[in-house]
Amino acid sequence: GNSVTQMEGPVTLSEEAFLTINCTYTATGYPSLFWYVQYPGEGLQLLLKATKADDKGSNKGFEATYRKETTSFHLEKGSVQVSDSAVYFCALPLSGGYNKLIFGAGTRLAVHP
């Protein structure tokens, strides 16, 4: 079945630094791919998504490109802010449909002024 692997955290950066959080997946076919973000004390929010190979999802300065050759969906941001401190989850549908998602373990990002 489908699976996802995320880089371990925590990731600690200074404000305005460049961010990359790695995500690789194993899947049957070419499922949609997602990044969710969880701010402290809150539930998960969809950050961005890509529905087919070579698509680039983007939101709030974050980007991720669906790379079928490397089965990756790495999250990037050119200049992080303190307010980006959160836990980031890569996700994709479980094989078999029914709109079920599987999530990576999450990567905690801490941005310092």
57 is a contact residue toward another protein (CB under 8 A):
no
Is-contact 104 44, C-beta < 8 A? Answer: no
Q: Which member of 1, 28, 43, 70 binds another protein (CB under 8 A)?
A: 43
- Min separation Cβ 31 and another protein, Å: 8
Q: Which residue has the tokens 């600690």?
A: 12
Residue among 13 and 102 whose Cβ is closer to another protein: 102
Q: How many CB atoms lie within 10 A of CB 93?
A: 18
Amino acid at 75: L
Residue among 15 and 60 whose Cβ is closer to another protein: 60
42 is a contact residue toward another protein (CB under 8 A):
yes
Nearest by Cα to 90 from 16, 20, 29, 15: 20
Q: Which residue has the tokens 């680039």?
A: 56
Q: How many residues bind another protein (CB under 8 A)?
A: 23
Binding site for another protein (CB under 8 A): 32, 34, 41-46, 49, 51, 89, 91, 93, 97-106
